[in-house]
Structure 1
Amino acid sequence: MKILNTLEEDFPGPPFTAVEPRKFYEAFLKADAILTAAPKKYRDTADERIPELMSFIYRGGDASAALFRKRDDASEVLINLWLSSVRRTAGWFLAANSIPEFKGFDGTIYGDLPRRFKDAESLPKIGPYLAPYGIVFIWEESIPSMKLDGAVFSLPSGHIVVALSLRYSRLDHFWFTLMHELAHVVLHAETLHDPIIDDFDIESDSLIEKQADRLALDSLIPRNEWRSCPARYTNSIEDIVNFADRLGIPVQCVAGRLQREQKRYDLFSDIINKYNVREILNAAQL
């Protein structure tokens, strides 16, 4: 990719009116810098990527404006590339489908999701189910070393985008990530003009993040149910299965929560690794 070395006067004006030329130019410079610092395969497609990345930055969607739940060594360059790809895919989806603007997302409908789509094979139906609510659900492959699980943001069109990277392909991780990002939609929809970006390998002190964590956990397994869950005291596979069946949720969500609480990631591996969510969702796109 050619690195920009021209004067501002040589930069062509934006292709649409009602924009701030200086801000638009600065967005171009930042997009160019991001792609210059990116891995080679992204630089090779710079001509395709720079318009969307520039537009995303101009409209305040870049990582510098995001509410981060991330580690200090997370790559802002890779996150910006991933976000711009998500934005581009969302634009294609909206151009090809008649989707109403987001007007709200009822908490009851939200809480029913892991029960309605309990079977792993039904996961590809989640996107079409959310679309009538003005929510665009996207899975965009994680970029190596990106260290990001999901993001949520609103578009100028009035739609909300929920995106998962699927860097971990476990079903329990999929459900917590999706429910967490949708919890931001339920609780914080009016603040989503800037992206919220999440890495669940770390804890966050942010009130917004704690609220979304709590709603996601309680919606998957209500607190009162979890307190009395027999599997917490027995680690019995039978107790895990019976408890999940009684709540009508995937058994992986119970096994995964036990893993995390006990910090015993060697437990229940047969249950946890039964499904590869990445393969299920990608197969649905073929």
Structure 2
Amino acid sequence: MKILNTLEEDFPCPASSAVDPRRYYDAFLKAEAILAEAPRRYRDTADARLPELTSFIYRGGDAAAALYRKSDDASDVLINLWLSSVRRTAGWYIAANLVPTFKGLEETVYVGLPRKFKNPENLRGISQYLALHGIVFLWEEALPSMKLDGAVFSLPSGHIVIALSLRYARLDNFWFTLMHELAHVVLHANQLDKPILEDLDVEADSLIERQADRLASDGLIPRNEWRSCPARYTNSVADIVSFAERLGIPAQCVAGRLQREQKRYDLFTEIINKYNVREILNGS
């Protein structure tokens, strides 16, 4: 522990004697560098954020070590700050609530989620529902230029954390992102010791991302149902609404999928823009 004893005035020492002092000090230096590059509002609170960010990087939370679906100009600095805030909030949630450890997610729970919470006014209830299954679900405001939709990772405590940035306030984006992150939980739970980070504007180029995309799409709208969806051929709002009602999902999920497949984001705006998820989740 020579390094820690020598430098304890300069950086926050970890509480556990099992911590590797050299690796912890490297994490501290990286955290310092991140805060030095961060926007002013984060530099102003650097003293308070430094221990948290150091611990986060030491425990493998660094964006550089993550499985990352990102654009070339995404900011690792901002994403590290966002991730450390997510981890802190998740820790508070677990400490304040009796959250069981994660034991797996049944297919019926996964597929049933958008149907159980079809009414947008009930979205805030998803956190409590997923917590029953050992999953901490939270939303943390996106930072400007961060270019991230969501993240999923496991904690040493045995819990899974899913966080959405809500950089887009559309209901269809909310549901696809959440189902995508949950798809990683269903398919890749043993790979979540490092965060999986998502910019869903970027085309999937890895197997696990393509798998999660497919399961998320099928979880919302089964393939056999989508093949025969009348709205694919008519672009009729009435067909979108009736198809969504038959499946028991929000009409925005159908309209959003049609937009993406046709690359026509000018279509169905009256449906897509009906709800603002940020306002609903934040109680605005």
Smaller-chain TM-score range? over 0.9
- Matched with 2:234 is 234
For residues 62 and 239 of structure 1, the distance between their equivalents in structure 2, rounded to whole angstroms, comes to: 45
Distance 1:8 1:106 in 2: 45
Partner of 2:109: 109
Tell whether the 8 Å contact from 1:11 to 1:25 is kept in structure 2 after alignment: no
1:191 is matched by which residue type in structure 2? Answer: Q
Matches within 5 A, 1:1-286: 10-12=6-8, 13-283=13-283
The alpha-carbon deviation at position 8 of structure 1 amounts to 7.8
Q: Deviations over 1:101-124 (max 9, x none)?
A: 111111111000000000000100
Alpha-carbon distance between aligned partners in 2 of 1:108 and 1:14, rounded to the nearest angstrom: 42
Report the 3-state secondary structure (helix = DSSP H, G, I; strand = E; otherwise coil) of the residue aligned with 1:98: coil
Counterpart CA distance in 1 for 2:98 and 2:219 is 30
Deviation digits for residues 233-262 of structure 1 (CA, Å, limit 9, x no counterpart)? 000010000000000000000000000111
3-state SS of the aligned residue for 1:162?
strand
Secondary structure of 1:153's counterpart equals strand
CA–CA separation in structure 2 for the residues paired with 1:199 and 1:9: 41
TM-score (norm 2): 0.96
| Total equivalences in the alignment | 278
8 Å Cα contact 2:102-2:134 kept in structure 1: yes
Partners of 1:22 and 1:53 lie apart in 2 by 16
Using the alignment, how far apart are the partners of 2:199 and 2:205 within structure 1?
A: 13
Q: What letter is aligned with 1:233?
A: Y
| SS of corresponding position for 1:90 | helix
> What amino acid does structure 2 have at the position aligned with 1:214?
R
The structural deviation recorded for 1:204 is 1.5
Tell me if the contact between 1:152 and 1:192 (Cα under 8 Å) persists in the aligned partners. Answer: yes
The answer as to whether partners of 1:66 and 1:195 remain within 8 angstroms in 2 is yes
SS at match of 1:174: helix
Question: For 1:17 and 1:114, how far apart are their aligned partners in 2?
Answer: 45
1:42 & 1:226 partners in 2: Cα distance?
Answer: 46
Structure 2 residues not aligned, in runs of 5+: none
By how many angstroms is 1:72 displaced? Answer: 1.1
Structure 1 position 9, deviation (Å): 6.8
**Conserved in 1, the CA contact under 8 Å of 2:150 and 2:199?**
yes
Q: Deviations over 1:129-176 (max 9, x none)?
A: 000111000100000000000000000111000000000000000000
- RMSD over aligned CA atoms reads 1.2
What amino acid is the match of 2:238?
A: E
Cα distance in 1, alignment partners of residues 50 and 231 from structure 2: 51
CA contact under 8 A between 2:154 and 2:161: conserved in structure 1? Answer: yes
Residues 1:176 and 1:143: Cα distance change in structure 2 (over 3 Å): same
Q: Distance in 1 between matches of 2:233 and 2:80?
A: 43
Structure 1 alignment gaps of length 5 or more:
1-6
Q: Which whole-Å CA distance do the structure 2 matches of 1:218 and 1:243 have between them?
A: 15
How many angstroms does 1:10 deviate by? Answer: 4.1
Structure 2: distance between partners of 1:11 and 1:38: 24
Q: Could you tell me the TM-score, scaled by structure 1's length?
A: 0.95
Instruction: Note the C-alpha offset of 1:75.
Output: 0.4
> Shift in Å at residue 17 of structure 1?
1.4
Deviation at 1:48, TM superposition (A): 1.6
Q: Conserved in 2, the CA contact under 8 Å of 1:31 and 1:50?
A: yes
Amino acid at match of 2:56: F
| CA distance in 2 between partners of 1:122 and 1:238 (Å) | 24
Task: Extract structure 1 runs of 4+ deviating beyond 6 A.
Answer: none
Letter in 1 for 2:91: G
